[in-house]
Chains A and B, each alone.
Chain A
Amino acid sequence: MSEFWIVLLSVSAGTVLMSVLSCLPGLHVYNLMGALVLGILALDGTSFAIPAMVYLPAFTGMIVSWAILNTIPAVLLGTPDESALFTVMPGQKYLMAGRGFEGTMITAVGGLAGAFFIVCVMAPLAPRYLPVAQQVLKGHMHWVLWIIITFMLMSEWPKGGNRGPAGWAKFFDAWKTLIAGVITFLLAGLLGFIILTRSPVSHVVAFQNIMPAFVGLFAIPWCLLNIISAASVPPQHTTTSLGINGDVVLRSVWSGALGGGIAAYFPIVTGGVGGMLAGHATAQRDERIFIMGQGVSKFIYYVGAFMLMFVPGLHLTRGGGAWMTKTLFTPLGWADYYLVIGCIAIAAAISYLMMEPLAKVTLKFINRFNYRHVSSVALAIILLMVLGVTGWVGMFIATVATGIGLLPVLFGSRRLNCLGILLLPIACNMSGFGETITGWLGLT
C-alpha cells in the first residue's frame, strides 16, 4: 500500500474512533493516547512495531476530533473537561431552551473555522515568525503565568452585597464569593504541588497522573450539580440553519484565535484560560460569537499546540499530545510538517461531518431518559474511567479534587480558579522558588 493511502486510512481511522469515544463523558483524548503510546513502545523492536507513518496521522486525527467533538459531553451531558468549561454555561442555556443541537453545532462550526485558521493562516506563517517570537519570549514565560493568575483573581465579580444599607455587612456578603475563589485557587494549587512533586499515582500510568484531579475538579462537580438540581431538560429539536453568517464566523475566529493561540503557545496556559481570555479580549456580547469563539479557542489550543512540535525551526513541545508523541517520534523537517497540516485538514472535515449524527444520537438518548439518570450514568462512566486508569489512588485524588471543585459551585465563585492546580506550582517553579515552597510543604 502506498504511503498516501496509509496516511489517509490512519488519519481517518483515528478521527472516526476518537469521534465516537469523545461522546463518552470523562474520557480525555490524552488518556487514550497515553495507553496507545505505552502499547507502541511495547511493540517497538518486535516484528509488530508500528511505524510513525501509521500512528502520527492517527494521533493527529484523534486530537482534532477530540477538539471538535468533546463539545457533546460538555454541553449535552454536562461533563466538561477544563478546556470546554466556558462552553458549558451558554451551551446548557441552549439545552434548556430545547436547542442543544444548535449549541453544539455552533461550537463545531467554531472548530472548523479554527481548522481553517490553522491550515490557511497559521501553517504558512508559523515557520517564518514563530521562531522569532520564541527567541524573544523564551525567557519570559514565567511572568506571563503570573499576570494570568493576577488577572484571574482580580477580575472576578463579587456576586453578593446586592441588598441592604452600605457598610461592612454588605462588603463581607459581597466578598464571600471572592474569598471562596481565592481559597479554591490556593487549595487547587496545593493539590497541584503534591501531585506534580510526589504523585501517588503509579509511574506505570505517569502520563495520567493529573487526570483524576482534573476530572474531580471539573467534570464530577457538574455531574453532581445536574443530579442534585434535577433539572428537567425540555424536548430537544434539531434545526437546518444555525443563524450564523460570515461576520459571526470571522468575529469568532478573531476572539478564539487569540485566546486559543495564547493557550497553545504558552506552557501550562490551558484551554480554559484561553477561553477566558478569548471572552475578555474581544468584548463580544453576542452569544453565538461567544460559543463559536470558544470552539475556535478549544481547537487552536489542542491542535495548534500539537502542531507547534512540527513547525520547522521551532519544534516547541506544548500540550500532553505533543509530549507523549515526542517519546516516540522526533520531527525532522518540512515533510513531517506538511503531513501533520494535511492530516489536520482531513481530520477536521471528517470530525465536522461526524458531529451532526453523534449529536443527534446523544440528543435522542437525552430525550429518552431522565436527565438526572443521564448525569448519573455519565458520573458512573467517569468514575469507572478514573478507577480503570489510575486505580484507587486515582479515585482518592479525584475525591479530594471534587471537594475543591465543589467550592465554586457552593459559593458561586468561578470554576476557573480550580486551574490553580497547574498555574500556581508551575509559575512558582518557573520563577525559581517552587522548590522552596515544596520544601516548606515537606514534599522535597
Chain B
Amino acid sequence: MKGFTHFMSGVAVASFGPWAIEAAMQGNPLFFVLGGACGILPDTIDFKFYRFFYHHDVYVTPDPINPDPQFVADEIARAVAIAVDEKRYVDVKLVSIRLGADFWQQYSVKLDNEKGEVLVKFGPVVNTGQVPVEGTENRYPAIGRAPLKTKVIQTYDARLKVDIFDGPSIGLKPLDNGDLDLEFLPWHREWSHSLTIGAILGVLVGAVAWLASGWTMAWQCFVTIAACYGVHVVEDQLGHMGSNIFYPLTKLRTPGLQWMHSGDGLPNFLTIWIGCLLIFWNLYRYQPDMTFHFGFMHLMWVGLIAPGLLFAAIRWVLTRGQNVAVVKGDGVDDEWNEMKASGA
C-alpha cells in the first residue's frame, strides 16, 4: 500500500489506545505521532536507509550518451550465468539513466522463458513525473536480446521498468531444479517488514521510556509501536510481494494474498477513509460532555456506506455506456514506482 495509507493506518491503530487520546487531550501528540511514524517506518527503513547499504553483484549501468540495449541484455545474461555456474544468489542492480535535471531515459527488461532469452528495449525519455516526452518514443527502435543459461521464474509478476531516480534491483536465487527464482527488490520487505522487528523496536523505545518516565509510559510506548508497526506488515500481506513476517525466525518472504496491488486507488482510499472514521469514533468515545450521541453503525452508515452508494450511483449515471480509460500503475511493481512518484 502507499505510504500515506500505512501512515494513516498507524494513526488509526494508535487511536485505539485510551492513553493516546488522554495524552492528546492534554496537548501531548506523542502517541499519535509515534503511531503514524511507525506505520510508515518499515518502508522508511528500506527505501531511505537499507537500500543504500545493500550490495549488488552486478551493476548494469548503461551509457547515457550512447544507450545500448544489447549491453543491458548481455549484462543480465551474464548475471544469470554467474548464478547458474556458481550456484549462488546473485543481486543485480539496473541503474537508471539520467539525461538532465528533469529527464530520464526509460528502458524495460523482459525475461522470455519460452525462447530462453532476455529482451531489452529503450523506451521514451520521461520527465520526473514519469510522463513521456513527445517525440522520443521511437528514438531507439532496436531490441537487445541475449540467451539465458536457464529459466528465470517470476513468481512475482514484475515488469522490470527503469526510469526516474533509482533503478530496481533483482535477486536471482538458484532453485533445486536448476532454474532461478527472480526476487524483485530483494532488499525490500526483508527483515524490516516483520512483526518481531516491530516488537523489538517497541521494547527498545519502551526501555528508554521506562528510564525517562516509568513503567506506565514504557508499556504504552511498546504497545503503540508494536501494533502500529505490525499493521504495516499485515496490510502489505494483502498484496502480491508479501513480507518476511517473523524474521529472524523466518528467512523468506511469505507470499501475499494477492487481493490488490499496492498502488490501487480504491483500496488505498478506503483504508485511509475507514482509518479516519475509526479515529473519529475513538475520539468520540473518550470525549466528555458530548451533546450529540450516535452509535458505531450510524457513523459507518453516514460516513462510509451512504457516500459510497451515492458515489457509485453518480458514477454509473455519468459513465454508463462509456469505455472509461484511466491511467493506472504498471501492475505489481507499482509500489516501487508509486514510492518514487509520490515522494518527489
> Which residues of B (39-59) have their CB < 8 Å from a CB of A?
40, 44, 47-49, 52-56, 59
Q: Which residue of A lies closest to B187 (CB)?
A: A166
Is A174 in the interface zone, CB < 8 Å from B? yes
Chain A residue with Cβ nearest B283? A136
Task: Give the distance in Å from the alpha carbon of A279 to the alpha carbon of B343 in the complex.
Answer: 10
In the complex, are the beta carbons of A247 and B319 less than 8 A apart?
A: yes
A373 within 8 A of B: no
Residues of A near B291 (CB, < 8 A) are 135
- Residues on B with C-beta less than 8 A from A165 are 55, 59
Task: Tell me whether B85 is interfacial, beta carbon within 8 Å.
Answer: no
- The yes or no answer to B151 lying at the interface (CB within 8 A) is no
Interface residue from B2, B314, B343 paired with A156 (Cβ < 8 Å):
B343
Residues of B with C-beta under 8 A to A150: 7, 33, 36-37
Distance of A20 Cα from B337 Cα, bound (Å): 40
Please indicate the chain B residues that have their CB under 8 angstroms from the CB of A97 in the complex: 134
Asked whether A135 and B264 contact (CB < 8 A) given A143-B24, A154-B40, the answer is: no
Q: Is the CB of A132 within 8 A of B294?
A: yes
B201 within 8 A of A: no
B292 touches A135 (CB 8 A): yes
Residue A90 interfacial (CB < 8 Å): yes
B215 adjacent to chain A (CB < 8 Å) = no
Interface pair A154/B44, CB less than 8 Å apart: yes
In angstroms, how far is the closest chain A Cβ from the Cβ of B64? 11
| A200 adjacent to chain B (CB < 8 Å) | no
Known A-B contacts A151-B40, A157-B165, A171-B52; A90 and B24 likewise in contact (beta carbons under 8 Å): no
Contact with A along B291-311 (1 / 0, CB 8 A): 110100000001000000001
CB-based contact A162/B327 at 8 Å: no
**Beyond A157-B343, A163-B61, is A431–B326 a contact (Cβ under 8 Å)?**
no
- A44 at interface by CB-CB < 8 Å: no
CB neighbours of A163 from chain B (8 A): 61, 95
Q: Quick check: which of B75-83, B111-119, B250-258, B265-273 contacts chain A, the rest being far away?
A: B265-273
Partner-binding segment picked from A57-65, A284-292, A339-347, A394-402: A284-292
A167 at the interface (CB under 8 A from B): yes
> Please, which residue of chain A has its CB at the minimum distance from the CB of B330?
A285
Q: B265 contacts A284, CB within 8 Å? A: yes
B165 touching A287 by the CB < 8 A rule? no
Question: Nearest Cβ distance between residue A207 and chain B, in whole angstroms?
Answer: 29
Q: How far apart are the CA atoms of A255 and B109 in the complex, in Å? A: 33
> With an 8 A cutoff between CB atoms, is B32 at the interface?
yes
Q: Is the CB of A246 within 8 A of B29?
A: no
Interface size classification for chain A: 35 or more
Contact of B127 among A93, A254, A282 (CB under 8 A): A93
* Chain A positions within 8 Å of B29 at CB level: 142-143, 146-147, 431
Partner of A246, one of B40, B131, B134, B319: B319
Interface of chain A residues 99 through 150 with chain B (CB within 8 A): 129, 131-133, 135-137, 139-140, 142-143, 146-147, 150
Q: Nearest Cβ distance between residue B342 and chain A, in whole angstroms?
A: 6
CB neighbours (8 Å) of A205 from chain B are none
Give CA–CA (A432, B40) in the complex, Å.
27
Instruction: Report whether B326 and A289 are in contact in the complex, using a CB–CB cutoff of 8 Å.
Output: yes
Compute how far the CA of A166 lies from the CA of B52 in the bound complex, rounded to whole angstroms: 5
By a CB distance below 8 angstroms, the chain B residues around A258 are 269, 273
Q: In whole Å, how far is B25's beta carbon from the nearest beta carbon of chain A? A: 5
Q: Which residues of B contact A289 (CB under 8 A)?
A: 326
Taken together as a complex, chains A and B put the C-alpha atoms of A161 and B50 apart, in Å, by 12
Using Cβ atoms and an 8 Å threshold, which residues of chain B touch A247?
Answer: 315, 318-319, 322, 324, 326
Say whether A245 contacts B2, CB under 8 Å.
no
A136 engages B265 (CB within 8 Å): no
A279 to B338, CA, bound (A): 11
The contact of B318 among A142, A246, A280, by CB within 8 Å, is: A246
Number of A-B contacts (CB under 8 A): 174
Main secondary structure, interface of A, reads helix
B11 close to A147 (CB less than 8 A): yes
Which of B24, B47, B96: most chain A CB closer than 10 A?
Answer: B24
For A255, the chain B residues whose CB sits under 8 A away are 269
Output the nearest chain A residue to B342 by Cβ-Cβ distance. A280
A414 surroundings in chain B (CB, below 8 A): 344
A251 touches B326 (CB 8 A): yes
A154 to chain B, nearest CB (A): 6
Task: Scan B262-288; emit 1 where CB is below 8 A from any A CB, else 0.
Answer: 011100110011000000100110010
Does residue A1 face the partner (Cβ distance < 8 Å to B)?
no
**Given A171-B53, A250-B314, A431-B27 in contact, is the A283-B48 Cβ separation under 8 Å?**
no
CB pair B52–A432 under 8 Å, yes or no, is no
Complex: how many Å from CA A414 to CA B344? 7
Q: B223 near A: Cβ within 8 Å?
A: no
Q: Are A139 and B25 closer than 8 Å at their CB atoms?
A: yes
**Contacting residue for B265 out of A132, A155, A251, CB 8 A:** A251
The answer to whether A146 touches B318 (Cβ under 8 A) is no
Bits for B8-41, please: 1 = Cβ < 8 Å to A, else 0.
0001000000000000110111001100110010
Instruction: Let me know if A285 and B40 touch, CB within 8 A.
Output: no
Tell me whether B33 and A157 are in contact (CB under 8 A): no
Question: Which A residues from 218 to 266 make CB contacts under 8 A with B?
Answer: 245-251, 254-255, 258
Q: Decide yes or no whether A178 CB sits under 8 A from chain B.
A: yes
Contacts of A158 in B (CB 8 A): 47-48
**Nearest CB to that of B307 among chain A residues?**
A121
Give CA–CA (A162, B7) in the complex, Å.
Answer: 26
Of A135, A154, A156, most buried by chain B (CB within 10 Å of CB) is A154
Q: Is B139 an interface residue (CB 8 A)?
A: no
Measured CA separation A376–B273 after assembly (Å): 44
Interface residues of B in 72-128 (CB under 8 A from A): 95-96, 98, 127
Q: Which residue of A lies closest to B44 (CB)?
A: A154
Chain A residue nearest to B293 (CB atoms) is A132
CB contacts (< 8 Å) of A251 on chain B: these are 265, 326
B290 located at the interface, meaning its Cβ lies under 8 Å from any Cβ of chain A in the complex: yes
Let me know if A277 is at the binding interface, CB within 8 A.
yes
Contact of B329 with A by CB under 8 A: yes
> Are the CB atoms of A281 and B272 closer together than 8 Å?
yes
Task: Provide the residues of chain A in CB contact with B53, threshold 8 Å.
Answer: 166-167, 170-171
The CB with the most chain A CB atoms within 10 A, among B302, B322, B339, B343, is that of B343
Q: How far is the CA of A131 from the CA of B24 in the complex (A)?
A: 21
Chain A, 341-367, contact with B by CB distance < 8 Å: what is the 0/1 string? 000000000000000000000000000
What 9 A-B pairs have minimum CB-CB distances, sorted nearest first? A246-B318, A157-B343, A143-B29, A280-B4, A146-B29, A286-B327, A171-B52, A432-B27, A132-B292
Residues of B within 8 A of A (CB): 2-5, 7, 11, 24-25, 27-29, 32-33, 36-37, 40, 44, 47-49, 52-56, 59, 61, 95-96, 98, 127, 129, 131, 134, 165-167, 263-265, 268-269, 272-273, 280, 283-284, 287, 290-292, 294, 302, 311, 314-315, 317-319, 322, 324, 326-329, 338-344
Other contacts beyond A166-B53, A167-B53, A246-B315: 6, CB < 8 A? A136-B284, A139-B24, A143-B32, A162-B167, A166-B54, A431-B28
| CB pairs A–B below 8 angstroms (13 shown) | A142-B27, A157-B343, A159-B344, A167-B52, A167-B53, A245-B319, A246-B317, A251-B265, A279-B342, A282-B265, A283-B2, A283-B338, A285-B263
